[in-house]
Amino acid sequence: MTTAVCPGSFDPITLGHLDVVRRAASLFDEVVVGVAQNSSKKALLPADVRVELARAALARLDGVRVQVIPGLLADFVREVGAVAVVKGLRGGADFDAEAPMALMNRHLTGVETVFVIGDTALAHIASSLVKDVARFGGEIDDLVPPGVSMAVRDALGAGPAGGGST
């Protein structure tokens, strides 16, 4: 059985993330979606909420499970017995950001990173942009799986109807 880890902060999980996980699931027997805490960012959603939202969004996908990455991705990869790390790319800037991490993870674990080109129809969707749109009262339901927009609005204090600051 081949296992891959699809890591990210998933703050929040988006339709672009789902696309990458679906593609990874077609390549590997098992995909572990690893919800990480990015030390360079302050998360909007707590890790347990991000895990539950990801589990709900991916529940119908066979061979996919969601876990928290408690520390280094390299340690997590070893722990779950993964043969690869899968990362989605929207464009060249993503590759520039991901390449050094892929090289470091290979150095630490010997595990290769597989880059999956995301659906171009979703290339404009990034968690940071989703949060920005929601923060200013914009609609995000068409950018995220069901239930995620409510969690984002609640975390922002905007309530069910959106709205942002006054």
Confirm if 82 and 114 have CB atoms less than 8 A apart: no
Supply the angle between the helices 15-27 and 47-58 in degrees, to the nearest 10: 60
Q: How far apart are CA 37 and CA 19, in angstroms?
A: 21
Angle of CA points 14, 41, 61, to nearest 5°: 25
Which residues are annotated as catalytic? 17, 41, 90, 127
Contact criterion met (CB below 8 Å) for 8 and 49: no
